[in-house]
Chains A and B, each alone.
Chain A
Amino acid sequence: MTPFRLELQSLSVRYGATRALDGVGFTVEPGTICGLLGRNGSGKTTLLSTVAAFRRPTAGRVLVDGETPFENARVMAGICLVREGGDVLDDRVDAALRYAARIRSTWDASLAARLVERFELPRRASVKALSRGKRSALGAVIGLASRAPLTLFDEVYLGMDAPSRYAFYDELLADYMAHPRTIVLSSHLIDEVERLFEHVVIIDHGRLLVADTSESLARSGVTVTGPADAVDAFVAGANVLRRQELGRTAAVTLHGHLDTEAERRASELGLTLGAVGLQDLFVHLTAPEKDAA
């Protein structure tokens, strides 16, 4: 099946008086991997559940492959949401796999069998009796073998140990390259997954903070280190995320792109420029003190 395009238009979801999502809009192009980042309670799970048609928007629209997914059998059949901790039925592992095989026209049984081996899942065990990590792995197996044109992984790594998580990333990448589809992956382990993403969306308190390509996002932060006077003169007027001082040396983290002219000026002033990783940028952008600003 052709990968689905995902578009959110001013999506709002309210639970009573709580605004879980507030006017969120972005697009995920078909056949790309998008990272969805946000702190706990930022609205990631609400967003993914709404995209997967588990709930109806309060306002705004979700478009999947150009259509509203809610109560839309064609579109819903092409969306696979794997929820945190492995979102599977109260049954045995092999029954959960058989169920997934039945409802997914794109199911790959041999891939599922191989992944069950790789993640060492006991086929005859009850899903409830599995450890959290094994339940997550089962969710990952179902998400991958479903080959759905829009696959959503909501913190699917929870409880998985590092070797299992890296096995998941490798399998995800390999199967995505062999069978391109649209993937949205939410995670808190940003350092582990950031290079898998072509696009990154950051939400905070139900609002969209960033929707950008990974490459442009990686260049959107810079640290400037050097003599405090020179650093302060250089960063005057810029969007400063953080400032640290150690004796006469200052290190400032900026949000914004430096052009070649600015880089040349920094070098003339004897300032050192450094990268800001996505994880650091995420921490700065979603820091509580930004609320007051």
Chain B
Amino acid sequence: MFDGRDPIYRQIADQIRQDVVAGTLMEDEPVMSTNQYASAFRINPATAAKAFAELVAEGVLYKRRGVGMFIASGARERLTRARRARFFQDVLDPVIDEALRLSIPIADLRAHIDIAALREDGES
């Protein structure tokens, strides 16, 4: 946990987003408090609070007064949609760039995807 150039609060926020998309954190269920995060990861509570503030502003979390933070309803759908919108640019383009660097023809990539599609058809 915590490497790379992103500030720690952003890495915490990303982890929570990831858990929401994966369904590990369910909508309208509580998340750990900032103090629990701070203790678990041995970080300053202000760092955890900043991550939560970002997620509240984004509508991923909401606060119930005196109870704590909860995953907002619709958060999973919104985060998934946002990721889908960036998928080709953020995920696939770097893969294509790497393939070209390695002289792997685009046709081979397409063939690989076609096999995955056949497998998916077979399963459904």
Q: Which residues of A contact B (CB under 8 A)?
A: 32-33, 166, 169-170, 173-174, 176-177, 195-198, 214-215, 218-219, 222, 273-275
CB contacts (< 8 Å) of B8 on chain A: these are 195, 215, 218
Taking the closest CB of chain B, its distance from the CB of A157, in whole angstroms, is 14
Q: Tell yes or no: B30 within 8 A of A by CB.
A: no
Contact B44 A196, beta carbon cutoff 8 Å: yes
Q: Are A196 and B43 in contact (CB under 8 A)?
A: yes
The docked-state distance in angstroms from the alpha carbon of A218 to that of B11 is 13
Taking A170-B42, A196-B44, A218-B7 as given, write out 16 further A-B residue pairs in contact, using a Cβ cutoff of 8 Å, ordered by the A residue number.
Answer: A32-B46, A170-B39, A173-B42, A176-B45, A177-B35, A177-B39, A195-B2, A195-B41, A195-B42, A195-B43, A195-B47, A198-B46, A214-B44, A215-B8, A215-B47, A222-B5
| Distance in angstroms between the alpha carbons of A173 and B48 in the assembled complex | 13
Contacts of A33 in B (CB 8 A): 44
Please measure, in the bound complex, the distance between the C-alpha atom of A195 and the C-alpha atom of B47, giving whole angstroms. 9
Partner of B3, one of A176, A198, A275: A275
CA distance A273 to B4 in the complex (A): 9
Q: In the assembly, what is the distance between CA of A218 and CA of B35, in Å?
A: 22
Residues of B within 8 A of A195 (CB): 2, 8, 41-44, 47
B79 part of interface (Cβ distance < 8 Å): no
Chain A residue nearest to B45 (CB atoms) is A177
Contact partner, B5, options A166, A169, A215, A273, Cβ 8 Å: A273
* Alpha-carbon gap, A166 to B39, bound state (A): 11
Nearest chain B CB to A197 CB, angstrom units: 6
Is B9 in contact with chain A by the CB < 8 A criterion? yes
CB nearest neighbor in A for B33:
A177
**Which residues of B are at the interface with A, using a C-beta cutoff of 8 A?**
2-5, 7-9, 35, 38-39, 41-47, 50
Name the residue on B nearest A277 (C-beta). Answer: B3
Closest CB of chain B to A88's CB: distance in Å?
27
Interchain residue pairs A-B with the least CB separation, the first 4: A195-B43, A275-B5, A177-B35, A198-B46
User: What CA separation (Å) do A32 and B8 show in the bound complex?
Assistant: 17
A-B contact pairs, 24 of them (CB 8 A): A33-B44, A166-B42, A169-B42, A173-B38, A173-B44, A176-B45, A195-B2, A195-B41, A195-B42, A195-B43, A195-B47, A196-B43, A196-B44, A197-B44, A198-B44, A198-B47, A214-B44, A215-B9, A215-B47, A219-B7, A273-B5, A274-B5, A275-B3, A275-B5
Residues in chain B near residue A197, CB distance under 8 A: 44
B39 touches A174 (CB 8 A): yes
Question: For residue B5, which residue of chain A has the nearest CB?
Answer: A275
Instruction: Report the minimal beta-carbon distance from B113 to chain A, rounded to whole angstroms.
Output: 25
A177 — nearest CB in chain B belongs to which residue? B35
Q: Which residues of B contact A174 (CB under 8 A)?
A: 39
Complex interface: chain B residues within 8 A of A215 (CB): 7-9, 47, 50
Which residue of chain B lies nearest to A218 when distances are taken between CB atoms in the complex? B7
A250 CA to B35 CA, complexed, in Å:
42
CA distance in complex: A33, B46 (Å)? 10
**A169 closest partner in B (C-beta):** B42
How many whole Å from B42's CB to the nearest CB in chain A? 6
- Name which residue of chain B comes closest to A263, CB basis: B5
* Docked CA distance A177–B36 (Å): 10
The distance from the CB of A270 to the nearest CB of chain B, in whole angstroms, is: 10
